[in-house]
């Protein structure tokens, strides 16, 4: 029988917050076909800023993995793939913004976004252990995966012009990538100190809270 991993334990323990971050009213509005296009455009512009701040964070996770890469299979290739995918993601945001008439150079980061980006920056510190950083990375990607995959289920009424956005994070390929990140996180957690495990759990919760605030920013918390 399979043993219960640390991430599974946390997902069960913090179910309410996890569901709050992956089944937000913004996501329900996309899925039900009720999304206000201005809310979608707000999200698009703000997420472009977030993703730009995400690049140095992911690069810092790569650096941490690289330093421990004499440990067999610590995930360095998967993370390198993640860094590489961000190049395409930034281009996609530019293309999508021009499609919707969103002027990216004019976007001012809102408070929730600024706070989330500062949190990401704090995680780039060399004092933050690889275990903590990889847990944050897994959680950040997984919230988007679970959220957007929900908008692609058979009974969803997602507007066709938003399907491409939903597929970016909701596709099976992105789901497999999230599973790989989860395995890396769980493998790290198996060998981590109690102190690192405590910090990683707190960081996981912070990510979920920032994600809820990020959705609220686009969708008024309704
Ligand atoms: C706010 N969380 C936010 N934006 C994203 N693009 C992701 C997660 C996934 O990369």
Residue 131's CATH number: 1.20.910.10
- For the chain, what is the domain count? 1
Q: What is the pLDDT of residues 181-217, one digit of tens each?
A: 999 999 999 999 999 999 999 999 999 999 999 999 9
Residue 131 lies in a domain: yes
Q: What is the pLDDT of residue 219?
A: 83
Of 71 and 95, the one with more pLDDT? 95
Residue 181 lies in a domain: yes
Residue with tokens 């493998």: 187
* pLDDT mean over 42-67: 97
As a whole number of angstroms, the distance between CA 218 and CA 119 comes to 19
| Distance from residue 194's CA to the centre of ligand 1 (Å) | 28
61: number of CA atoms within 13 Å, CB side? Answer: 29
As a whole number of angstroms, the distance between CA 185 and CA 179 comes to 10
User: In the chain, pLDDT over 90 holds for what percent of residues?
Assistant: 93
Q: Which structural domain, as residue segments, surrounds residue 177?
A: 6-219
pLDDT class of 1 with cuts at 50, 70, 90: low
Q: What is the pLDDT of residue 68?
A: 77
* pLDDT mean over 15-31: 98
User: In the chain, pLDDT over 70 holds for what percent of residues?
Assistant: 96
Radius of gyration of the chain, Cα coordinates, nearest whole angstrom: 17
> Known catalytic residues?
211
| Distance from residue 51's CA to the centre of ligand 1 (Å) | 7
Residues near ligand 1 with C-beta < 6 Å?
47, 50-51, 140-141, 143-144, 211, 214
Residue whose CA lies nearest to ligand 1 atom number 10: 141
Q: What is the pLDDT of residues 106-161, one digit of tens each?
A: 999 999 999 999 999 999 999 999 999 999 999 999 999 999 999 999 999 999 99
- Tell whether the model's pLDDT for residue 222 goes beyond 60: no
Q: What is the pLDDT of residue 73?
A: 74
DSSP secondary structure letter of residue 41: H
Closest ligand 1 atom to 210 CA = 1
Render the burial of 33-56: b for 16+ CB within 10 Å, e for the rest: eebeeebbbbbbbbbbbbeebbee
As a whole number of angstroms, the distance between CA 16 and CA 113 comes to 22
Q: What is the pLDDT of residue 54?
A: 98
- Tell whether the model's pLDDT for residue 221 goes beyond 50: no
As a whole number of angstroms, the distance between CA 106 and CA 143 comes to 27
* pLDDT mean over 9-21: 98
CB 205 within 8 A of CB 17: yes
Residue 49 lies in a domain: yes
Residue 20 lies in a domain: yes
The best mutation among 26, 48, 54 to test binding of ligand 1, ranked by most ligand atoms within 8 Å of the C-beta, falls on 54
Residue 193 lies in a domain: yes
| Distance from residue 43's CA to the centre of ligand 1 (Å) | 10
Residue 1 lies in a domain: no
Q: What is the pLDDT of residue 3?
A: 87
Residue 183 lies in a domain: yes
Residue 161 lies in a domain: yes
| Distance from residue 169's CA to the centre of ligand 1 (Å) | 9
């Amino acid at each position: 029988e399979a043993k219960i991993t640390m991430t599974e334990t946390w997902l069960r323990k913090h179910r309410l917050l996890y569901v709050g971050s992956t089944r937000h009213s913004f996501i329900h509005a996309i899925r039900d076909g009720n999304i206000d296009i201005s809310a979608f455009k707000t999200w698009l512009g703000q997420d472009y800023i977030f993703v730009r701040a995400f690049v140095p964070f992911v690069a810092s996770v790569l650096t941490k993995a690289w330093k421990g890469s004499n440990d067999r299979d610590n995930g360095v290739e998967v993370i390198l793939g993640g860094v590489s995918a961000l190049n395409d993601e930034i281009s996609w945001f530019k293309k999508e913004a021009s499609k919707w008439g969103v002027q990216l150079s004019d976007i001012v980061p809102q408070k929730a976004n600024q706070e989330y980006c500062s949190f990401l920056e704090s995680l780039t510190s060399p004092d933050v252990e690889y275990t903590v950083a990889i847990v944050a990375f897994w959680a950040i990607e997984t919230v988007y995966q679970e959220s957007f995959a929900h908008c692609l289920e058979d009974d969803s009424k997602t507007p066709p012009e938003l399907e491409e956005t939903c597929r970016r994070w909701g596709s099976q390929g992105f789901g497999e990538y999230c599973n790989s990140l989860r395995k890396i996180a769980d493998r790290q957690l198996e060998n981590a100190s109690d102190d690192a495990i405590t910090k990683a759990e707190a960081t996981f919760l912070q990510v979920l809270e920032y994600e809820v605030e990020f959705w609220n920013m686009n969708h008024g918390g309704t």
